[in-house]
Amino acid sequence: METPFRPLFLFFILLEGCGLSGKRISPIYIDEGGGIGRSERDIAECCPETAVMPGLSVHGGSATSSDKCMEKWLRDGGVL
């Protein structure tokens, strides 16, 4: 079942004004169990000329100890 979480409207206003055409977005989500939901799809719809990479969802309570998880995600995404 997909979660109802969606990024804030203000976030999309900021994205639209950033000139991200031809760029890559690698979203990171800090949540308390809601996960990514349809956020990647919403970002792709907002920025159709931008590559939206698979996001990383980090539980808020584990954020301070998520370095290994984040490093793996960055390597898998070709950032490192």
Say if 70 falls within a structural domain. Answer: yes
Q: Structurally, how many domains does the chain consist of?
A: 1
Say if 15 falls within a structural domain. Answer: no
pLDDT at 7 (0 to 100): 59
Nearest to 56 by CA among 37, 36, 75, 32: 36
Residues in the chain predicted with pLDDT less than 70, given as ranges, are 1-7
Q: Write down the pTM of the prediction.
A: 0.71
Say if 65 falls within a structural domain. Answer: yes
Say if 6 falls within a structural domain. Answer: no
Q: H helices within 1-80, ranges in order?
A: 9-16, 39-46, 67-76
Q: Which domain holds residue 42?
A: 23-76
Say if 9 falls within a structural domain. Answer: no
Say if 18 falls within a structural domain. Answer: no
Say if 16 falls within a structural domain. Answer: no
